[in-house]
Amino acid sequence: MRHNRDGRKLNRTASHRKAMLRNMVTSLFARERINTTTAKAKEARRLAERMITFARRGDLSARRHVAKTVQDPDVLKKLFSEIAPRFADRPGGYTRVLKTGVRRGDNAQTAILELLGEKEEGRKKKKIPRKKYHKVEIPESRAARKRAREEAEVVAVPESSGEFEHPGEDGAAVETEVAGAAEDEPTKKKVKEKEAAEKESENTSTADELESIEESGPDEQESGKDK
């Protein structure tokens, strides 16, 4: 079983495979595009992106490490001076594999391995639209309807009285008097004066009755007893 043994052997020995991938990566950095089989392109892509990541560091240790793979001095210089600064802000994904069909003769799957441009974006995954559901209207409960009815009654302005209610800063209803309250003051005074006059007339009538009884004298009282 080949558990945890990644990579393709490509029907070659280890030394032959390493030499082939070195040449492919060098040609890719020199021409920025190569045409090969799909399996070779995927293996060369892994090595090429690793070399670009080392070249982004730009120090002497990284240059010596990359020089073991890219053995052409001109291509090595181009990698550190042109290609690496192009991908300074990109955290990976420097290359692209484009499949071009099959090759005549052995029917092998062919592909193009190329570097991305300076402001070019790689292929993005297609976004699958989320499933949409119909909106279901939930009926209000009795408590909610009662609360809404009470709020409407509190906010409503009464036409008969000269007062109205409006919500204050804390959300509670605050009663405020309006100009109608000033108009009610003289009517209240007139009602009070009328009540005072009625009380005075009652007092005068009771006083007159008492005087008439005193003037009648004791004779009428005795006659009333005899009867």
Q: Tens digits of per-residue pLDDT, 135-157?
A: 777 777 888 888 888 888 887 65
Q: 26-74: per-residue pLDDT in tens?
A: 999 999 999 999 999 999 999 999 999 999 999 999 999 999 999 999 9
**Who wins on pLDDT, 214 or 45?**
45
Question: What's the confidence (pLDDT) of residue 98?
Answer: 95
Predicted pLDDT at 101:
95
pLDDT score, position 217: 55
Mean pLDDT of 172-197: 61
Of the listed ranges 9-13, 54-58, 89-93, the least confidently predicted one is 89-93
* pLDDT at 12 (0 to 100): 95
Q: Which are the contacts of 48, defined by CB distance < 8 A and separation ≥ 6? A: 25, 28, 29, 94, 95, 113
Domain 14-115 grouped into CATH 3.40.50.720: no
Q: Concatenate the DSSP letters of all residues of 176-216 into one string.
A: EE-HHHHHHHHHHHHHHHHHHHHHHHHHHHHHHHHHHHHHH
The pLDDT confidence band at residue 169, using thresholds 50, 70 and 90, is very low
The pTM assigned to this predicted structure is 0.53
CA 139 vs CA 11, 142, 143, 144: distances in Å:
70, 9, 12, 10
